[in-house]
Chains A and B, each alone.
Chain A
């Protein structure tokens, strides 16, 4: 493992951890601009999180320490998953850079939030937690199959090796495109975005994620918001990695490392703008139609996996 490669990886992960809220801010800014409003600037999520971190944290009387631990462990699980994604070809990733481990870390993150939501003892927390668990139960198998489709053609479950295989055109383009479509649907569902969930609504009949975290406040809410931004950034990195195979930037030295950081920021900003455009034109589907959409994602992932294996 070269020292430059390690530095490139650490710099890339740090860029994602620092810039992930920027993607959310860019999405909201794009939506506001498309709706004809001036909107808050893309850095607003940082100010919101700073404000929340200084506020007092309150907890429902019926809650247990699980309520406090939920957001913390949920965000930590997503951070671990991000460190498992290589930032460029040839750069090291964490030893747990495995499709199954990443899928399970994302599920673990959702489970901690669900438990914290249930622990509030309120009806809203329970409703949100049950809805979130329904989405997670349907989305996680599809995510696992999509990640296996990404890695199967390289005869490994290691994401780092699979991305190198994609770079050397060992994975068929058609299979990759089908899996990308499945991953986009899953990213929207897993991150509580339209058309599965409306992140800006607080209507009791339609809330999923927001109902679950309604009782959280102060630093806990800041952690939940940050965790959501990280999860969205993780999906974006995987999708972009499938579409544009990562280049071996670490071999370029310090310039390559700087370029890698710049590319991460560009990916997050462009991803935020595209998500904002998509959400402006999307409408939320009824919660009972969500299984239809997630089954389509599951079947697409299976089909992509089948096509990839058949061509290999």
Chain B
């Protein structure tokens, strides 16, 4: 484990904790950008000796995840007309303590194999915790993106580079799915006037309450 890899993994895990604290989706986009840059930075450092194509994919991943996705997230929020989303279904202090417990669980589970991998597992769990504890679709998308960052980091530190085809497909998945989900969230908001999943009743057939 190099010192730089561990430092970037630790900053990335710290960013996932801050995502739990941050309630504004615009602010979350900035924190996500920092987290994605750390993960992509580790991948970039590992791809130096893996051939030009893999290196190019790592650069594209850095640009797509640290710049394009956060901008898309902020634009979706701007179009929705509000940047403040106070939507957590769990009280923030409790949610933060659970998030730290999840990072500790990840670290205790596989930290002895590789400390960055332990942090990455914790980061993935925190992302899933965000999906479970938030009500607005946009916040849930942020959680999913954070979980994907954790999974990507776990793969990079445990499995190393996987070849151009696998890396390219993983990048496509990492960028296309959040973009599709952001578009879906915008459609849901336009159709129902809210992207708060706790207020959506149309799927259960009760349109009057929606």
B17 within 8 A of A: yes
Which B residues are in CB contact (< 8 Å) with A307?
A: 10
In the assembled complex, the Cα of A295 lies from the Cα of B100 at a distance in Å of 11
The answer to whether A174 touches B10, judged by C-beta atoms less than 8 angstroms apart, is: yes
Contact among B7, B97, B111 for A295, CB-based, below 8 A: B97
Question: How near does chain B come to A225, taking the closest CB pair, in angstroms?
Answer: 32
User: In this assembly, does B129 line the interface, its C-beta being within 8 Å of a C-beta of chain A?
Assistant: no
Asked if A302 is an interface residue, CB under 8 A from chain B, the answer is: yes
Given the complex, which residues of B lie within 8 Å of A299, measured CB to CB?
Answer: 17, 96-97, 99-100
A140 to B118, CA, bound (A): 29
User: Nearest-CB distance from A182 to chain B (Å)?
Assistant: 11
Among A174, A303, A310, the residue within 8 A (CB) of B115 is A310
The answer for the CA separation of A306 and B103 in the assembled complex, in Å, is 10
B153: shortest Cβ distance to chain A, in Å?
15
Residue pairs across A and B with CB atoms within 8 Å: the count is: 42
Query: B142 → chain A, closest Cβ, in Å?
Result: 18
Indicate whether A291 reaches chain B with its CB closer than 8 angstroms.
Answer: yes
Secondary structure class of chain B's binding surface, majority of residues: helix
Residue interface mask B86-128, A partner, CB < 8 A = 1: 0000001100110110011001000100010010000000000
- Choice from A178, A295, A300 contacting B93 with Cβ under 8 Å: A295
CA distance A291 to B6 in the complex (A): 30
User: In this assembly, does A311 line the interface, its C-beta being within 8 Å of a C-beta of chain B?
Assistant: yes
Partner of B21, one of A174, A292, A306: A292
Q: Does A76 contact B (CB under 8 A)?
A: no
CB contacts (< 8 Å) of B17 on chain A: these are: 299-300, 303
Find A292's partner among B7, B14, B92 (CB 8 Å cutoff). B92
Q: CA–CA, A303 to B100, complex, Å?
A: 8
The complex places the Cα of A256 from the Cα of B21 at a distance, in Å, of 45
Contact indicator per residue, chain A 101-142, by CB within 8 Å of chain B (1) or not (0): 000000000000000000000000000000000000000000
Taking a contact as CB atoms under 8 Å apart, the answer to whether A302 and B100 are in contact is: yes
Within 8 A of A (CB), among B1-59: 6-7, 10-11, 13-14, 17, 21
A302 to B111, CA, bound (A): 16
A124 CB → nearest B CB, Å: 27
Given contacts A174-B7, A295-B96, A310-B118, 7 further A-B contacts (CB under 8 A): A295-B92, A298-B97, A299-B17, A299-B99, A299-B100, A300-B17, A310-B107
17 A-B pairs whose Cβ atoms sit less than 8 Å apart in the complex: A174-B7, A174-B10, A178-B14, A292-B92, A292-B93, A295-B92, A295-B97, A298-B97, A299-B97, A300-B14, A303-B10, A303-B13, A303-B100, A310-B107, A310-B111, A310-B115, A310-B118
9 tightest Cβ-Cβ pairs between the two chains A and B = A295-B93, A292-B92, A299-B100, A295-B96, A310-B115, A291-B93, A299-B96, A307-B10, A174-B7
